[in-house]
Structure 1
Amino acid sequence: EPAIERARALAGDLGIKARFIHSNVYNLPDILDERFDIVFTSYGVLGWLPDIARWARVAAHFVRPGGTFYIVEFHPFAQVFDETPGVDDLYVKYPYFELPEPFKDDTGADYADPNAPLQHTTTYWFPHSLGDVVSALIDAGLRVEHLHEFPFSTYQFLPFTQTMPDGKVRLTKHDGSVPLLYSIRATKPAE
């Protein structure tokens, strides 16, 4: 994988002790037999995963007793709105709750570079409600310490948002009325 090789090169150049593993997240417990003080999941991960309960079990598996799991993610409520370019207000296009089948998108657009030529243009998206995420973490044996919701984002994933001078992305209308991000801190009880 070019991204993994690039990450290894950067870590080497910077003198950072880091290990990069390329794996399906669900298979990681078969590949890696370690526990960590902190397990972190970042923006834009959960929608690509079909089984949120299985993901939570994998995350909890790697948290050492007394350790912390932390996630910051785009709020699932903000992902119900129409993101078509030119849309200028909050119009519900997608359901909030998990579906039996994922969304199928054949637009062929890459969020990182909308003009990039793609060979494989179909993507699938799995919506997971905030309740599904919290319940999955609890069911996996983690104790939720806090859940925070934020009226801003770090990325313009809706056309009716703008980046403010402080770097936060906010709605151009209804600012502060819709959660755009959330974070959860959970811990694994000490043995």
Structure 2
Amino acid sequence: MPEPAYLTANRANWDDRAVAHVASPDYRVADFDDPEFLSDVVRFDAQRLGDVRGLRTVHLQCHIGTDTISLARLGAKITGVDLSPVSIDHARELAARTSAQADFVVADVYSAPAALDAGSDLDQGGGFDLVYTSIGALCWLPDIDRWAQVVAELLRPGGGLFLRDGHPMLHATNESRPDGLLTLEYPYFETEPLIWDGDGTYVQTDHKITHTTSYQWNHGLGELITALLRHGLELTLFEEHDTAPHEAIPGRMTQLGNGEWRLTDHPERLPLTFTIAATKRPRSGDGFRLPAAR
């Protein structure tokens, strides 16, 4: 069976982005030469994530590995997974240069359980203590229910998911209108993909993307939470934030000094990111179960 068009296009797009992002000052790759340095994303997450020392962890959609290596520095036994071979090459180079204890695997999210051989030595699903996903991940996936199924397959009973990502309200907002208004113009719920064509990316760089086509989807919070519940996870944290770790709406945000950005004008009107933590329940034949996704 041929590979879906979205996967081919997005892999090529992210191969290009990886080259730009490694060279960009925004990813601060050179700062990892300091063994105490952590990415701003992981530094923000750490206060909610708790102690990860010794946890067998998989980082889905790890990109060039800056957050993966940061979690390794906090003590996680971590494997990063990404669909982009170029991203993984750069992640491995960074890990080798900094002597980070992190492994990396090339695979798209839906293929991750097979690629990681999840569940080969366990009779109740995958053997990971923690599945971690950071900013800018879910919008590249067409099916949030299938993603939740992957998370459940990867986790051992009692294991946990930690996710911080862009808020679907932000993704539904058009911030580039000539009249300066912030308007809801794109889908909030999971629908057909939005297909974009552009040679730029979200960091400071002179590099131009040559594989310019990309496919993206939004996923409403209700769709996301219901998918997690359907696949046997219980929410332990849900929080919405008025900040993001990048200038999500260029020219209209203020940098706060901790790697986070907030709308300059009335930041209370738009959530920019959210955090969800959840725990996989032990298997049981008892109790109410949600129906399968339609």
What TM-score does the superposition give when structure 1 sets the normalisation length? 0.90
Among candidates 108, 111, 124, match of residue 27 of structure 1? 111
Contact 1:89–1:173 under 8 Å retained in 2: no
2:256 pairs with 1:164: yes
The Cα of 1:59 is off from its aligned counterpart by 1.2
Equivalent in the alignment of 2:188: 96
SS in 2 for 1:10: helix
What amino acid is aligned across from residue 149 of structure 1 in structure 2?
E
2:200 pairs with 1:116: no
2:149 pairs with 1:149: no
Equivalent in the alignment of 1:173: 265
Contact 1:97–1:127 under 8 Å retained in 2: yes
SS in 2 for 1:37: strand
**RMSD between aligned residues:** 2.0
What amino acid is aligned across from residue 28 of structure 1 in structure 2?
A
What amino acid is aligned across from residue 158 of structure 2 in structure 1?
G
Change (3 A) 1:8 1:183: same
1:99-137 per-residue CA deviation (whole Å, 9 max, x = no partner) reads 2x1111123322235642222211111111111111111
What amino acid is aligned across from residue 68 of structure 1 in structure 2?
G
SS in 1 for 2:159: strand
The Cα of 1:42 is off from its aligned counterpart by 0.7
What TM-score does the superposition give when structure 2 sets the normalisation length? 0.60
Inter-partner Cα distance in structure 1 for 2:88 and 2:226? 32
Inter-partner Cα distance in structure 2 for 1:95 and 1:5? 34
- Mark the runs of 5 or more structure 1 residues left unpaired by the alignment: none
1:118-168 per-residue CA deviation (whole Å, 9 max, x = no partner) reads 222111111111111111111111111121001111111112222124442
- Mark the runs of 5 or more structure 2 residues left unpaired by the alignment: 1-84, 119-126, 284-294
Equivalent in the alignment of 1:8: 92
Inter-partner Cα distance in structure 2 for 1:102 and 1:27? 20
Contact 2:246–2:259 under 8 Å retained in 1: no
SS in 1 for 2:274: strand
SS in 2 for 1:57: helix
Contact 2:198–2:209 under 8 Å retained in 1: no
The Cα of 1:60 is off from its aligned counterpart by 1.4
The Cα of 1:2 is off from its aligned counterpart by 3.5
The structure showing larger relative contact order (alpha-carbon pairs under 8 Å, at least 6 residues apart) is 1
- Structure showing the higher helix proportion among its residues: 2
The Cα of 1:58 is off from its aligned counterpart by 0.6
1:42-84 per-residue CA deviation (whole Å, 9 max, x = no partner) reads 1000000001111111111111111111100011011221132
How many pairs were matched up? Answer: 190
Q: Percent of counterpart pairs with the same letter?
A: 37
SS in 1 for 2:176: coil
The Cα of 1:85 is off from its aligned counterpart by 7.4
Change (3 A) 1:88 1:173: farther
Which segment is superposed worse, 144-153 or 76-85? 76-85
Change (3 A) 1:137 1:2: same
